[in-house]
Amino acid sequence: MMRHDLLSMDFEELSAFIAALELPKYRAAQMFEWFHRHTASFDANFFKQMNNLPKSLIRTLEETCITSYCTTTEIKSSASSETKKYLFALSDGVLIESVQMNYSFGDSVCISTQAGCKMGCSFCASGAGGFIRNLTAGEMLAQVHTVRKNILGKLSGIVLMGCGEPLDNFEQTIKFLKIIADPKSLGISMRSITLSTCGLVPEIRKLADMCLKINLAISLHAPNDRLRKAIMPIANVYSIRELMDVCRYYTERTARRITFEYALIAGTNDQPSHAHELIKLLSGMLCHVNLIPINSIAEEDTIKRSDLQHFAKILNKNHIPTTIRRTIGADINAACGQLRARPWGSGATRNA
């Protein structure tokens, strides 16, 4: 018998489920509030914790439903205490990582949308072990809720930049966004959510047509097709021209600024000529560039950091708004490009 995944249901789906059980409508509101506002543990005892429901209904849920388990296996804290990395085990034993980041304005959580990744970018650890499976919306939510229990202050933002390509898991990612933003759930503003993609052109167009108010970040990392193909296999599918066309469509449809992420790799994409190509590529677009200090991974130990300040100076001087991403969590392999889907004791990661 197929079990219902309750945490992956939006409020309308949960209401329909309750109606099918011939239960009062208010039960849906009780359950939805419990899922998203309480600090329950997302484990095999989840249903037993629901003390706002009658025992007979809890038995029915245990027999017919599942919730998206997200058991904390281990937590590592950075030396600066700005970052915590979580190793989670899902209900089938698959491992994923999430990161809690502390800022002066509140804490953000970086979640995974897939276990592993298909994209194979040369500088990223997430796809080094291959693709395992997509996560459900409930498994994405469980990461947020589990980390939220450990946040003393305000949850200020959510970043979809962990393992996986969010737009390669389009339906579940969109469902996650809608549930987390629902006022009956956490009510997180879409403007406080950032989704990062390596550039799946059809999905960016679909996202544009939905006119969500999220922050869209495009992993660009090169100003031309030749260079981008060398470090990002997705560039063999979609050209930079196709990507720029859909990005302009996105800004026109949503009136939202796009962030272009550019990880500087010494001797590869960091020359002044690359900066000037990038200026020509992005001129006139509603965007800004976020330069990323590259982080070493075990599979590519020849990758070295470059001079971000000089590159940023060229872009800013030529009217391309540019910022440099603050590096946090590298000492626990929790920085950009370092997340994985494997046990920490495997020896597969090393500090940048």
SS3 of residue 176 by DSSP = helix
DSSP string, 225-285: HHHHHHH-GGGGTS-HHHHHHHHHHHHHHH--PEEEEEEEBTTTS-SHHHHHHHHHHHTTS
Distance from CA of residue 320 to its chain's centroid?
26
Label residues 290-320 b or e (16+ Cβ within 10 Å = b). bbbbbbbbeebeebebbebeebbebbeeeeb
Q: Is 74 among the catalytic positions? A: no
Is 336 noted as a catalytic residue in this protein?
yes
Q: Which two tokens stand for residue 148?
A: 């939220």
Cβ-proximal residues to 272 (8 Å cutoff; 6+ apart), any chain = 310, 311, 314
How far apart (Å, rounded) are the C-alpha atoms in residues 196 and 228? 17
Per-position DSSP letters for 23-61, written without gaps between them: --THHHHHHHHHHHHS----STTTGGG-TTS-HHHHHHH
Q: In 3-state terms, what secondary structure has residue 348? A: coil
Active-site annotation holder among 110, 117, 287, 336? 336
Q: Is 300 helix (H, G, I), strand (E, B) or coil?
A: strand
Q: Locate tokens 């309480």: which residue?
A: 38
Segment holding 109, helix H or strand E? strand 106-110
- Sign (positive/negative) of CA torsion 249, 322, 299, 113? negative
| Catalytic option among 97, 139, 203, 261 | 97
Q: Catalytic residues, which ones?
A: 97, 336
